[in-house]
Structure 1
Amino acid sequence: MTDAWAKAIATAAIGLFANSAYGADAPQALRPDQVQFRALYKELVETNTSLSVGSCTQAAQQIGARLKAAGFADSDITLFSTPDHPKEGGIVAVLPGADPKAKAILLLAHLDVVEAKRADWTRDPFTLVEENGYYFARGSADDKSMAAIWADDMARFKQAGYHPKRTIKMALTCGEETTYAFNGANWLAQNRPDLVAAEFALNEGGGGETDGHGKLVDQSMQVGEKAVQNFRFETRNPGGHSSIPIPDNAIYELSAAMLKLQTYEFPLQMTDTTRAFFAQAGAARHDALGAAMVALAKDPTDKAAEKVVNTDRTYHSMLRTTCVATLLEGGHANNALPQRAAANVNCRMFPGRTVEETQAQLAAAVGDTGVSITPVPPLRPVAVPPPLDPKVMGPAVRLSAKYFPGVPVVPVMSTGATDGIFLEAIGIPVYGVPGPWGDPDGNGVHGLNERIEVRSLMVGRDYLTDLVKAYAEQ
């Protein structure tokens, strides 16, 4: 990309960003490169990759065909799947760097999407529809927007004859959205770590947020995430006839355990990322909550500040491990004392915390040896927080000033989880990059009528293209 072209793209992007909304039936005019990108994006979005009836393998093969058309050799493309999961495959592509001593960077995204029922949606969830300045479809945001951007970047780089200093790798995988499904990122980490070996990876989890009225208010870089672990709480009892009840009841015993869990608070913890987040985000608020966030960043033992920060459910979760009951079962007949009762407890473990530690804390909180607490497979790796690396944060901040003037870039720790945890387990730090943005209502991600703003996708694409090149030339 020439400097003149880069400047033209940035100017167009800022102009697009400044426009707060499109007319209801007036799609924004796209540049020729954006028209080509939209075709790739549309094909990917309209390829059903839900676990029930879709095929990530098909999506990966389509991306592979586009990369070959752009000039990639067969030796630089790896399509993978396993015999027992033939539709849950993925793709890895490699653009060799000019400096053999420079470590690679990895572009990571997932191809699979959450289930979507046509009867529940206003529009066909697997047909890309543009209305009122938004693209509507399942996966339009999560995560096919990023997958399409990475695939488009790789194709354009190859077509332009771009020779980066670092090798650029791309891994598009399946299984991120379903805990019990085959996970392509985990499979690569365990079986083909050579394919994805990199100094660091760029992934979902970051991005911007608007005020709900078209104004971008912040951008975030995800630096670390929690680990997901489910536990089965179970109580057992001989049971008997319901006409002669006794206090020793499996449902009552489980209920007592759940009430103790409801009031149990895991201890406060901080990483370098969360400390920086609370200091920076708090200073920008100019209210009592903001002051408490700043105070807590300075002194994590400040109980008064913690009490105020805990009033925000998101901030409360960022400060500790959380566990919550999500599923319940019990009994076997209307006229019988229950012989068994069980609950699923979903935990989001703070970085560095192990399954064994969390299990022990839950047992101590319940204080009843009659309640068995068992980890539910799969058991994920311990969450390893990446460093707040200036080599990663610096280019992201500088380019944000270019594309999103006046919008801060704040490091955050996700309270959710991504496939990054599998790569971090083998020593590859993973960062959820800024770029495309969403609205405060969540844009229907994982829910009905998922959407992404057209300018968010297009400007975010330009930003991420420049960001990849900035990292590739380090």
Structure 2
Amino acid sequence: MHDAPATSAATGTSAPTAEDEVVGICQDLLRIDTSNFGDGSGPGERAAAEYVMGSLTEVGLDPELFESAPGRANVVVRLPGTDPTRSALVLHGHLDVVPAAAADWSVDPFAGEERDGLLWGRGAVDMKDMDAMILAVVRQMAREGRRPARDVVVAMFADEEAGGAFGARWAVDNRPELFEGATEAISEVGGFSVDVAGRRAYLLQTAEKGIGWLRLVAEGRAGHGSQVNDENAVTMLAGAVARIGAHAWPQQLTPTVRALLDGVADLTGIPFDPEDEEGVARLVAALGPAARFVGATTRNTANPTQLDAGYKANVIPGRAEAVLDTRFLPGHEDEARAELERLAGPGVRVEDLHRDVALEVPFAGDLVDAMVAALHHEDPDAVVLPYMLSGGTDNKSLARLGITGYGFAPLRLPGDLDFSAMFHGVDERVPVDSLRFGTRVLDRLLADC
């Protein structure tokens, strides 16, 4: 589709295509440190947002940059579609990344190094790869004077890695007019390929678990460490943490997970019985590295992640705290919270730090058909299946405006690449051929959706 340089409608001169540009754009973004520590101490997204502004204004677009707080920058631009009567599509990414400890990496995590056909760096898959594909495709369309099939709102948000309070959530609450007329959205963590029984299958995200970051608080009687104390806050908290961490949550399969496992059963010949947990586990395992994502979507989860208590070896503190990362299935938030309260036990209080909704939408409709068709155009023999993300995306914030969100960052990946381990992992990297594939798919999607 893009074998030769495109021709600019305005100048008649040759210009680089999206495939020509995408790797360089991704490298540029990776070299901008946008680490989000979740406490406001990071560098912020301003430098990356200014890069996005420059990329878009250079091709004649008129984006808007706005800050929710100093340094916490977001960029939005609307591309008019050929059919103004249709509802708009939001195409969004986030500019922040989780921190990276350079000593643990094989390369500098902010050097954007290309090695062995792979682009390395923090954000290479989460999600500066998709950001680069979006920018490359939009730039090409602008240079060629092409318009998408309908209005497309391109948004690059801050703060997704800490819940979006300075990014998508802030924009939805304070600038809802930017998304006027939008009914659907596309973002990260879907559209990537996995090998299943010798067939390539693309996992299109149609659901994501809800988020509950919770604090456990135990309050007891402070005292001398040498004395008997049956109201020790540390003991009460430790019991709660142990019970919650060891709890075996029951298997509960939502419609999205059932549809995925049905598709895997068709590819592998492994029978699918929703009541057979061992059989379900075999089907999940058949997804290879993606089993990490999918396995966590068959049940609610709750993982203790932080502990804080005491200040001296011989002092029993009066208060002890822990933090939990809980993820609940669509429709199961209340029962999950009730179970956590029970497991915490007497004397331990459960407090909210951050909560956000679970999402689940049908694997059907014109947009889904267009995404599937765009993938099949580039990979005709592949299978496309729905799946649920065990984490969360900025689609949660857009859902507050009634916008239906999907995960579709199309990447054709080598079967031996442990893609799921790249997310928030050490030595994060993405194949350059996958980036070029994604630009072709995304370009076709915007023309047809």
Of 128, 142, 153, the residue aligned with 2:137 is 153
Q: Does 1:168 align with 2:152?
A: yes
Of 99, 114, 121, the residue aligned with 2:98 is 114
Cα 1:120/1:314, change in 2 over 3 Å: closer
Give the superposition deviation at 1:32. Answer: 5.4
- The 5 Å alignment of 1:80-119 reads 80-82=66-68, 85-119=69-103
- The 5 Å alignment of 1:56-95 reads 56-72=45-61, 74=62, 77-82=63-68, 85-95=69-79
Maintained 8 Å contact 1:47/1:54: no
Cα 1:121/1:216, change in 2 over 3 Å: farther
Name the structure 2 match of 1:54: 43
Q: Which stretch of structure 1 is more off in the superposition, 304-313 or 105-114? A: 304-313
Of 332, 347, 350, the residue aligned with 2:329 is 350
Which residue identity does 1:143 align to in structure 2?
M
Q: Quick one: distance in 2 between partners of 1:32 and 1:165?
A: 20
Give the superposition deviation at 1:236. Answer: 1.7
Of 365, 369, 374, the residue aligned with 2:343 is 365
Maintained 8 Å contact 2:94/2:131: yes
Question: Could you say what secondary structure the match of 2:206 adopts?
Answer: strand
Of 407, 411, 417, the residue aligned with 2:382 is 407
Cα 1:318/1:118, change in 2 over 3 Å: closer
Question: Could you say what secondary structure the match of 2:92 adopts?
Answer: strand
Give the superposition deviation at 1:307. Answer: 7.7
Q: Does 1:217 align with 2:197?
A: no
Q: Which stretch of structure 1 is more off in the superposition, 181-190 or 85-94? A: 181-190
Maintained 8 Å contact 2:19/2:136: no
Maintained 8 Å contact 2:296/2:390: yes
Q: Does 1:273 align with 2:250?
A: no
Name the structure 2 match of 1:131: 115
Q: Which stretch of structure 1 is more off in the superposition, 408-417 or 309-318? A: 309-318
CA RMSD of aligned residues (A): 2.8
Q: Quick one: distance in 2 between partners of 1:411 and 1:164?
A: 25
Give the superposition deviation at 1:362. Answer: 1.1
Q: Does 1:449 align with 2:435?
A: no
Q: Does 1:186 align with 2:161?
A: no
- The 5 Å alignment of 1:323-334 reads 323-334=302-313
Name the structure 1 match of 2:209: 226
Q: Quick one: distance in 1 between partners of 2:225 and 2:257?
A: 52
Which residue identity does 2:213 align to in structure 1?
N
Name the structure 1 match of 2:243: 260
Q: Which runs of 5+ in 1 are unaligned?
A: 10-30
Name the structure 2 match of 1:379: 355
Maintained 8 Å contact 2:310/2:317: yes
Question: Could you say what secondary structure the match of 1:436 adopts?
Answer: coil
Name the structure 1 match of 2:29: 44
Q: Which runs of 5+ in 2 are unaligned?
A: 5-15, 286-290
Give the superposition deviation at 1:160. Answer: 1.2
Calculate the TM-score normalised by the size of structure 2. 0.86
Name the structure 2 match of 1:206: 190
Maintained 8 Å contact 2:32/2:110: yes
Percent identity at matched positions?
29
Of 269, 292, 299, the residue aligned with 1:320 is 299
Which residue identity does 1:413 align to in structure 2?
M
Q: Quick one: distance in 2 between partners of 1:465 and 1:422?
A: 25
Question: For 1:318-351, what per-residue CA distance to the aligned partner results, in whole angstroms no more than 9, with x for missing partners?
Answer: 1222112111223343123342222211101212
Of 326, 348, 373, the residue aligned with 1:398 is 373
Q: Quick one: distance in 2 between partners of 1:268 and 1:241?
A: 45
Cα 1:403/1:100, change in 2 over 3 Å: closer
Question: For 1:416-444, what per-residue CA distance to the aligned partner results, in whole angstroms no more than 9, with x for missing partners?
Answer: 11111111222111111151145225464
Query: How many residues are matched?
Result: 425
Maintained 8 Å contact 1:110/1:176: yes
Maintained 8 Å contact 1:206/1:220: yes
Maintained 8 Å contact 2:221/2:232: no
Calculate the TM-score normalised by the size of structure 1. 0.81
Q: Quick one: distance in 2 between partners of 1:441 and 1:434?
A: 13
Q: Quick one: distance in 2 between partners of 1:270 and 1:453?
A: 33
